[in-house]
Amino acid sequence: MAEPEPPLSCDCFVSLPPGSQDDHVIFGKNSDRPRDEVQEVLYYPATSHPSGTMLECTYIQIPQAEHTHAVVLSRPSWLWGAEMGANDKGVCIGNEAVWTREAIDPGEALLGMDLVRLGLERADSAWGAVSVITGLLEQHGQGGPCREDPAPFSYHNSFLLVDRNEAWVLETAGKLWVAQKVTEGVKNISNALTIGTDISAEHPELRSVAQAQGWWSGEGEFCFNEVFKSENPPARMELAKKRYSGGTQLLQQHDGSVTAEVMMSILRDKPSGICMDSGGFRTTGSMVSILPRNPSLPCIHFLTATPDPSRSVFKPFIFSESVTPVSRVISPQYGPDDPVRKQPRFQSQVDRRHDLYKAHEGALQTMETNPDAGNALTETLRMLEGQCLTDISALLSGESPAEEELGDLFFDCVDTELKFYQ
């Protein structure tokens, strides 16, 4: 069987003051995945768990934490974790596939996407999430099929972890890791190792392992992305490097003036490949977050729940005491009969499309077959998004809507979008 082609890339971005126009930290991510994979958006409230509870992740069980924070997740609908998300403590995380010199464990362990969710559920800061993820890596490792397909496809992970004050880049190789703290300006990551000699924290055995393997002499500066770069990287990773450079250029063009709207425009950029549609892969979900430095202001998280951000609506979500569930962006559940649960895994396919995905799918077909109608629909959707951004701007300027209005915000936007498709 031919080895599956890896995706071109995912892309994560952050802008911290003075890179941002306002006193906000701005986070953004495109999730580039197999083109027919459905991404759903789910909210889970904060929960206390009985001592000794076990948690079922995508492939393995681990001990559950005594308390988990409320989270909103954008995730491939077949797995437990998430590609990206946020918690009610103002933490956002996105992950990327990376390939290194360290061998990929063929067994099932925690997926990088499981680690995204676990970091959000268990940490109240970006650094706290680094500590959670690296601790879980040490205990349980990372590994297992990373897509809904019987053909083997696994990778290691890098992460961008962001809160109201700072960001951390975390890059892993098996259980080994390095982290870099970012306190100002703009930063992005893609599917390549980016941390060189500017290391803020690292696994205690990182350098000794590199020496023992003959990857580093022990003399001179230790440069992580040189020492650990893969000797046989997937062919498309060279293109991923170009995307990383393109993303950096787009960010730098707006350095000092980054807003949520600017971040959305970057995620929609097709010439750079940031908004991806290539062969068997495309951008299947997108997220932008506003994290005000002022702790009295709410964090705002915009999620699409649909593919191709250039033809999707970023819809705002705000954590509140009364979040309205949005069943129409949640995929059907198949319980123990789900092909991911049965051994051997992934021997069949099921329909995971949620209502918004189906309606958006029909709209995309209209856009392709009837350009005039498609342009009119795109303009209407942009008007919806623009109104949402205007309302959010007023909120961040100090307006105080009712708690129920905040909890209904994402629900109302999904409902309105569905009506436009009808």
**Cα distances (angstroms) measured from residue 327 to each of 287, 297, 306, 332, 399:** 19, 28, 14, 10, 29
Residues 54 and 58: their CA atoms lie apart, in Å, by 13
- Tokens 């205990």 belong to 139
Give the three-class secondary structure for 24: strand
- Asked whether the bond before 344 is cis by omega within 30 degrees of 0, the reply is yes
Q: How many CB atoms lie within 10 A of CB 313?
A: 25
- Tell me the C-alpha distance between 216 and 212, whole Å: 8
Cα distance between residue 267 and residue 255, in whole Å: 16
- 146 as an active site residue: the answer is no
In the numeric block, which tokens belong to residue 354?
């949620």
DSSP assignment string, 253-277:
HTTT-B-HHHHHHHHT-TTTTSS-E
Residue in the block written with tokens 């906000």: 24
What three-state secondary structure class fits 240?
Answer: helix
Choose the catalytic residue: 10, 12, 57, 388. Answer: 10
Enumerate the active-site residues.
10
